[in-house]
Every structure is written in structure tokens, then in C-alpha cells.
């Protein structure tokens, strides 16, 4: 089971996150916390006319949270807000019910977390933070609110 959870792609992205660092020309940003695990991220988004041009993040946390943010930043780059909404919903289904969708591409490697309910929040932290960033809500995001 653990081997399934910590696939090579997750370990790689967890250790060497892509798009890591401050994005100077971001027009959305948001902090997110997962108190259950101690994961913290600060997400930066550059969006123009409904298209996400670039996502970067900083933070620290477990391999799952870092890998999820890293994979998300790669997969969502260049996508419209409508496409992102669909991918977000598909991703949520994947990590809660294990429904892999073709839209998800390499995000499918995170499907193993559904066997570990405590880790689902690690995997979804970046996504909830992105949603909040795009909606420009006030205050930081916590995985322990609204559930």
C-alpha cells in the first residue's frame, strides 16, 4: 500500500518541486494550511483574461502536499478557469473515490491517497488554495474549515 502511495513521480516532485518560488508578476496569491499534517503553502497565480499563465508556490510540508502542488502547477499551466474547474472536480473524485479521469494526466499518480484519508487533505491543500486564490477570498485557507 505505501509503495502504491509513494510512487516514483510523487517522490521526485516531493523532493524537487517544480515551479517553486515567488512569482513576481502574480495577480492572485493565497496561503493555505493543513494543520493535521503541518503542510503550508503560499500559492502565486498569474492569470490573464481567464487563462492561468503560470502557477508557482513556496512552502513546506510532506511529500504528498509538495508533489500535489508541483504537479498541479505543471498540469494547470495554460488552462482556462473553466478547464481548471473541471480538473479540480475530477481530481477531487480521484482522491476521494478513486475515479481516474483521462483529463488528469500525471495527476492520476495521486489516486493512491484515497486509501489514506488523513493524506487526502495533503493532496487537496494546493487545490483548495488555488480555488481561493482565483476567487480572491480574504484570509488564509485551512483544510479544517468548511468541512
Query: Taking CB under 5 A as the rule, which mask of x and - marks residues 106-145 in contact with Zn ion?
Result: ----------------x-----------------------
In the complex, the smallest distance separating the C-beta of residue 59 from Zn ion, rounded to whole angstroms, is 11
Total residues binding Zn ion (CB under 5 A): 6
Q: Could you give the CA distance from residue 106 to residue 78 in angstroms, rounded to a whole number?
A: 16
- The conformation of residue 61, written as its DSSP 8-state character, comes to -
- Which residues, in sequence order, are bridge partners of residue 54? 46
Interacting residues with Zn ion between 27 and 56 (CB under 5 A): 37, 39
* CB nearer Zn ion, residue 47 or residue 112: 112
Pairing of strands 141-142, 51-60: unpaired
CA gap 91, 104 in Å, rounded:
7
Binding residues vs Zn ion (CB under 5 A)? 37, 39, 61-62, 65, 122
Amino acid at each position: 500500500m505505501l509503495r502504491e502511495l509513494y510512487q516514483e513521480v510523487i517522490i521526485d516532485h516531493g523532493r524537487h518541486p517544480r515551479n517553486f518560488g515567488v512569482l513576481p508578476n502574480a495577480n492572485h496569491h493565497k496561503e493555505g494550511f493543513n494543520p493535521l499534517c503541518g503542510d503550508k503553502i503560499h500559492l502565486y497565480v498569474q492569470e490573464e483574461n481567464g487563462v492561468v499563465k503560470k502557477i508557482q508556490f513556496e512552502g513546506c510540508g510532506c511529500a504528498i502536499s509538495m508533489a500535489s502542488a508541483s504537479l498541479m502547477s505543471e498540469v494547470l499551466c495554460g488552462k482556462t478557469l473553466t478547464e481548471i474547474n473541471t480538473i479540480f472536480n475530477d481530481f477531487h473524485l480521484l482522491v476521494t473515490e478513486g475515479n481516474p479521469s483521462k483529463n488528469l494526466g500525471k495527476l492520476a499518480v495521486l489516486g493512491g491517497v484515497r486509501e489514506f484519508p488523513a493524506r487526502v487533505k495533503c493532496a487537496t491543500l494546493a487545490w483548495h488554495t488555488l480555488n481561493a486564490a482565483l476567487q480572491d477570498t480574504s484570509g488564509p485557507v485551512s483544510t479544517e474549515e468548511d468541512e
